[in-house]
Amino acid sequence: MSNINDIAKQFVEYYYQCFDGDRSSLAPLYRDMSMMSWEGTQMQGAKNIVEKLVSLPFTRVVHKVTTIDAQPSLPNINAVVIAVTGQLLVDDETKPQQYTQLFQLVEDSGFFIYNDIFRLNYA
Amino acid sequence: MSNINDIAKQFVEYYYQCFDGDRSSLAPLYRDMSMMSWEGTQMQGAKNIVEKLVSLPFTRVVHKVTTIDAQPSLPNINAVVIAVTGQLLVDDETKPQQYTQLFQLVEDSGFFIYNDIFRLNYA
């Protein structure tokens, strides 16, 4: 499964580089069929998802990834499920927040995000 | 997606009821093709997965679920991705540990676990 792990690591690095740099640059990673749950709010489609991400109430954000786990998804489909745990720091806050994000990537010309679930972990 | 959410809620309740009661009773929820990543260690197949779960070094464990998010997985397949965040308390510990668990359920006669990724969230 080393190839799966490489795909996951490259994707996760690229995703948060885009997220922390310019959230609108995430649009090409989603499709019309993509789904996102953001802190319990569900939306579908690249346009709605990126509108939500761009509208989040912070200007600066830095993600620091702690763990990445990846597994091949269903047989006969080129898809990968990825679970990320990490910390993020927004604007002038000094205390990082723990978060978890789950992705399912599906391959067409490249990999796009089919499922995306984000949660902060409150202690 | 209410049906998806009902399936997820019922599954998660049942899963941790089995886990906290008798871990060997989780065996029917996995198949030979099932995959688990437990704190970064990967294994495949109901037998290997349940052996790992039964061998975990605690006698008593209580899971307390904080959030459950579910989305339909790939088109044309009856599958559900579920992300759980919560806390668990083992043996005589008094400080709960935060955890995250991701499942992908696939339907055959009932739903079984195809993907399972577990991580503790360290602050």
Q: What is the pLDDT of residues B26-70, one digit of tens each?
A: 999 999 999 999 999 999 999 999 999 999 999 999 999 999 999
Angle, CA A88 vertex, CA B40 and CA B73 arms, to 5°: 55
Whether the pLDDT of residue A104 is over 80: the answer is yes
The domain tally of chain A equals 1
| Residue numbers of the domain that contains A63 | 2-116
> Confidence band (pLDDT; 50, 70, 90) for B110?
confident
| Closest Cα in chain A, distance from residue B11 (Å) | 18
User: Does residue A34 sit within a domain?
Assistant: yes
User: Does residue A122 sit within a domain?
Assistant: no
Whether the pLDDT of residue B76 is over 80: the answer is no
> Confidence band (pLDDT; 50, 70, 90) for B2?
low
What ipTM describes this predicted complex? 0.93
User: Does residue A54 sit within a domain?
Assistant: yes
Residue type, B121: N
**Alpha carbons B102 and B70: distance in angstroms, whole number:** 10
Beta-carbon neighbour count of residue A41 at 10 Å? 10
**Alpha carbons B91 and B72: distance in angstroms, whole number:** 36
User: Which residue is associated with the tokens 């995959």?
Assistant: B35
Residues 6 or more apart whose Cβ sits within 8 Å of residue B4: B70, B71, B72, B80
CATH of residue A38: 3.10.450.50
Counted across chains A and B, CB pairs separated by less than 8 A come out at: 93
Contact state of B123 with A123 under an 8 Å Cβ cutoff: yes
Provide the mean pLDDT of chain B.
Answer: 94
Q: What is the pLDDT of residues A43-96, one digit of tens each?
A: 999 999 999 999 999 999 999 999 999 999 987 788 999 999 999 999 999 999
pLDDT at A6: 94
User: Does residue A123 sit within a domain?
Assistant: no
Cα B21 vs. chain centroid, distance in angstroms? Answer: 14
Residues 6 or more apart whose Cβ sits within 8 Å of residue A87: A63, A64, A66, A96, A97, A98, A99
pLDDT at B122: 80
Strand pairing class (A30-38; A111-120): parallel
Contact state of A67 with B119 under an 8 Å Cβ cutoff: yes
User: Does residue A78 sit within a domain?
Assistant: yes
List, as one string, the DSSP characters of B16-77.
HHHHHH-GGGGGGGEEEEEEEEETTEEEESHHHHHHHHHHSS-S-EEEEEEEEEEEE-STTS
Average pLDDT over residues B5-12: 96
User: Does residue A36 sit within a domain?
Assistant: yes
User: Does residue A45 sit within a domain?
Assistant: yes
Dihedral of CA atoms B109, B111, B115, B121 in degrees, nearest 10, equals: -160
pLDDT at B12: 98
> Confidence band (pLDDT; 50, 70, 90) for B109?
confident
Average pLDDT over residues B4-26: 96
**Of residues B35, B75, B123, nearest to A71 (C-beta):** B35
**Alpha carbons A83 and A65: distance in angstroms, whole number:** 11
Q: Which two tokens stand for residue A17?
A: 């580089």
Which range has the worst mean pLDDT, A81-85, A86-90, B74-78, B82-86?
Answer: B74-78
Interface test with B, best of A37, A87, A88, A102 (most B CBs within 10 A): A102
pLDDT at B1: 45
Contact state of B119 with A42 under an 8 Å Cβ cutoff: no
